[in-house]
Structures are given as C-alpha cells and as structure tokens.
Amino acid sequence: MVKEMRPDMPLFFGEPLLGTHFWGKPLLEKTILEETMSKSYQKVSSYEAEKGSVKRAVLLYSGGLDTSCILKWIQDEYQIEVVTLTLDLGQQVDDLKAIQKKALALGAKAAYLLDVRDEFADRYLSYAIKANGTYQYDYYISTISRYLIAEKAIEVAAQEKADAIAHGCTGKGNDQIRIEAACLALKPDIKIIATVREWALGREEELDYAQQHGIEVPVRHDFPYSSDDNMWGVTWESGEIEDISTVPKIDQFLTVTPIEKTPDKPEMVEITFKEGLPVAINGKSMKLASLIKEANLLGAKHGVGVKYMVEDRVVGLKVRGIYEHPGAEIIISAHRKLEALVSTRLENEFKAIVDLKWGELCYGAQWFDPLMGDLNAFCANLNQRVNGTVKVKLFKGKAEVVALESPYAIYDDKLATFMKDYSFNQNCSASFIELYSLQMKLANQKIRENAQ
C-alpha cells in the first residue's frame, strides 16, 4: 500500500536522484549549448507534456539541487499541482528527515513515501547478483533502482489521478532514458516533464536560482559534487571528476574509508549462499537487504569497492564517475567464484556471455524488454546449484576469495591432488593429447608443406 503524506502529516523520506551536469569544454561550448537549449529546444515526442495539457504531476523527488529547483519551477511554469515521490532504497548517506520537510515547504500538494528496501533487494538486486551484474567490468549497476522508481511513480500517478511524471535527469545522461522508457512501457499514455531538457540552467545557474528563491540545497559553490545513493552503491560526479586529466579529490567526498586509514590487519568474512543468493554472513542468517547493509559496513571499513571509471553512456558520451560499491563487490566476487565452482566449463563460458548482455541491458534502459526476462530465467535456473559458503579476505581495498565449499562443487581432491594418493588415470593422457592436438598438428604440417 502506498503511504501518502500531506502538509499536516509527519513523513519519512529518502533517495537522491540524478545529477545535472554539463559535459564537454568550458565557457564557449557551454555558452553556445545553453543558448541553443533556451532558444531552440522543441518537444518532438508525443509523450512529452505540453504546458496547459496536464493538470497534476508526480515528481521524483530527492531533496537535492535539481529536484528542489524543479519542484518550484514546475509549479510556476506549468501552473499545475505537484505531488512528490521519494523512495527509501537503503541510502547510505542521506539525512532523510531533512528531506521529508522540504517537499511540503516548497509547495507539494502531497508527499509520498515508499519504503522499498526489501522490494529493491528481493525483486531487483537478487537478479543483479545471479547475473554478476556489472557494466564494463567495474560498475555494479546501482541505477537498476530506476526501474523500481518508474514502477512506483506509475502506481502513485494512478492513485493521485496524475497525468504526468516529472524528473530531474540530465538531458545528457542515461537516467532520462531508463525512467522514461520504463514509464512508457508500463503506461504508454503517461506524459513526461523532463525539466532539465527544457530550462537553460547549468549547475552554477541552478545554485543561483535556488538562492534567489530561498531554496535550501545540500550543494555549495565550493562543493560541486553530485551524488546518487542507494544500498547497492554511491556514485559521485561533477567538479574536477569531469576532467579526466585531474586526480579527483576523493578525500572531499568519499564515504568508504580511504586506503591509508584502513586497518593494517585483514578481516575474514564468510558468506553463505542458497540458490545463488547470500542468506547469511559470518554465520548469521538475515534477509537480503540487511545482509547488503552489513556487507557495506564491512567493506567500507577496509576501503573495498572504490572505482574510478570512464564509461560509455547510452547517449554516446564517455564520462567519468567515482563509484563506491563495498557490499556489491564483496557479494558479487563471492558469488562469481562459487558459481564457477559448481558449473561446468561450458556453462561458465556461456554464463559469461549472458552476464555481459545482462549488464548491457540493465545499464542501457532495457529492463522491461522480454529478453531481460529470458536472461533472468536462465540465471535463476543455473543458480539452483549455487549453494555453499565462501570466505572473503578484506584488506586494503581488496575483497579476495580465499576459500569456498559447496555440495555441488565439480571438484574431487583425489582427482586433483599432485600427491601420491591420486585416482586420476594418467595412462589416458597420452591418447587424449594425440587426439586433442590432431587438427593443430595437421594444420601446421600443411602450412610447412605449402611454404616449401
């Protein structure tokens, strides 16, 4: 059941959504871009809301710079009522109580909270774990949350009889695609207000706008960073991070313990898996959302999961971000090794292809494509045998799998041993090698014959 809050009711909030950034060279190109946006942006898609054509919008609200300005801007520009929606996705660094008061203070007609921590873990992150979900190897796709956000936005829109969804995604980013495509897949006649594509405000201009309208925001001129946060990771962008030739000042914003300050002794963590999902940590059983939280705390203590990444966005840009994924790195590292232990070589080779495609679809706004369901079904079937325990050593930024066991392990120490007491029949080796190398031997023989 959706919990709704109105100006006279207490409320509980969460989830920073989406940053606003200008990528590319400064000054001249930025000025041209802003001038072009302010003069020539035209709505060409039928699902984009026109002023005067919608009456009420559900705004995906985080309380950050973008959505705080947007809440004021939409009311003034569109002359419509705005209902805010914020999700508790297990944020690691937010002041949720401060966020709760802001939406109503800025004129929201109603403020909705959904505590979706368990749903996020069970219905989304469970698939990411089984698929070893990464994009371009380093990014554990925490923005998988966008699909749940879209689902809940459509639910609230129906309850509030809203005819539009509003968001603060940058017009150069991936999140606009994820949220809009998902909303349209779920409700084709919904209208979208993508404010950042309409206004000609860069980050500095937004800060000025907020100051002019008395909007308190957590971003300062001397702290230019944009963050996105949920239980699966924290993303940092903007500021000097945008300049790939500059070493980011991570001490200004990082929440994971810097390597220099991590313990000088390693810590061993044991994770128990059942059908591909972690069910216990250090022998203590817990639900998935709680286990992820515990893994985050353990990993952050040892500086695990910090990634400097230049990635390929869906829109064609290369951008840099700093990612913090302590819990995700521990869990995925353990899962990947256990999965490999219980699967055949052919299964592992094919699973790597499936994992790669899964990451591309999840990152690339294709969550509701039928192929994603097919890939998830394959991963679920293979993971029925991914049961056992994995020991992970945490030390100086690394999460290293050092021991594992499973009743389904395709492993026999009597076959694998190099000691005298073995059962592997080495008499078969020579005949195997002769057949195994036959085509290679013949190919090289023909090459030599034709070279003469």
Residues 435 and 438: their CA atoms lie apart, in Å, by 5
Q: Token pair for residue 353? A: 């292809």
Between CA 250 and CA 165, with CA 324 as vertex, the angle to 5 degrees is: 110
Q: At what angle do helices 145-160 and 175-186 cross, to 10 degrees?
A: 50
138 exposure class (CB count in 10 Å sphere: 0-12, 13-18, 19+): middle
- Residues assigned a catalytic role: 66, 146, 175, 226
Q: State residue 134 phi and psi, 5-degree precision.
A: -135, 160
Query: Sign of dihedral through CA atoms 12, 109, 217, 118?
Result: positive
Query: Sign of dihedral through CA atoms 409, 410, 416, 421?
Result: positive
Q: Is 90 helix (H, G, I), strand (E, B) or coil?
A: coil
CA distances from 408 to 250, 283, 342 (A): 43, 20, 5
Question: What residue spans of 58-216 are helical by DSSP H?
Answer: 65-78, 96-105, 117-120, 126-130, 145-160, 175-186, 195-198, 203-212
